[in-house]
Amino acid sequence: NRAAPTELVGRSGRWAGERPIVMLTTYSHGRYRRYMAKRRAKAPTTEDYRFLTDQFDALRDPSRVHILALLSDGSARTVGTIIAELAAANGGTGLTQPTVSHHLRILHRQALVHRDQRGQFVWYSAKPEQLYALAADVQLLATPALVPA
């Protein structure tokens, strides 16, 4: 489990078109710098790179990224709601229920979404702390120490 600042606040942004998404920011820029310094102090292991590769693999499908963007507003949704929102965003053509369930299972396996069983329905929501940790890992890949001279 990767530690990340717990004080996250959602800020509305714009995705292509008029669909709002949430961009994650922290309350304190100093807290973010301390977090990143702690991350840089530890040399990444092969297991860290494997974990990061698996998360990128989960995001390589555009449908999964779109589902994650829908869930990133902080509200939980059922598969049926996600299917309806995807269909509305794509002009009436959407994904089938088994396909969306498959994508959500992959995102859940990589700990990018939270799954909550309530009765006969399963509610999904994004995990902002995990998205934040993924963004921090990507930033570490772009540090000047890793850029060839």
Residue 143 φ/ψ, nearest 5 degrees: -70, 150
Q: State residue 55's pLDDT score.
A: 87
Of all residues in the chain, the percent with pLDDT exceeding 90 is 39
Q: Tell me the per-residue pLDDT of 82-124, one tens digit each, with 9 for 90 and over.
A: 999 999 988 877 789 999 999 999 999 998 999 999 999 999 9
Cα dihedral across residues 112, 61, 123, 54: positive or negative = negative
Q: State residue 7's pLDDT score.
A: 35
User: Could you identify the residue written with the tokens 């949704």?
Assistant: 77
Mean of the pLDDT values across residues 29-54? 68
Mean of the pLDDT values across residues 16-24? 38
Which of 112, 139, 96, 6 lies closest to 104 in space, CA to CA?
A: 112
**pTM summary value:** 0.66
CA dihedral of residues 94, 68, 18, 77 (deg, nearest 10): 70
Q: State residue 135's pLDDT score.
A: 85
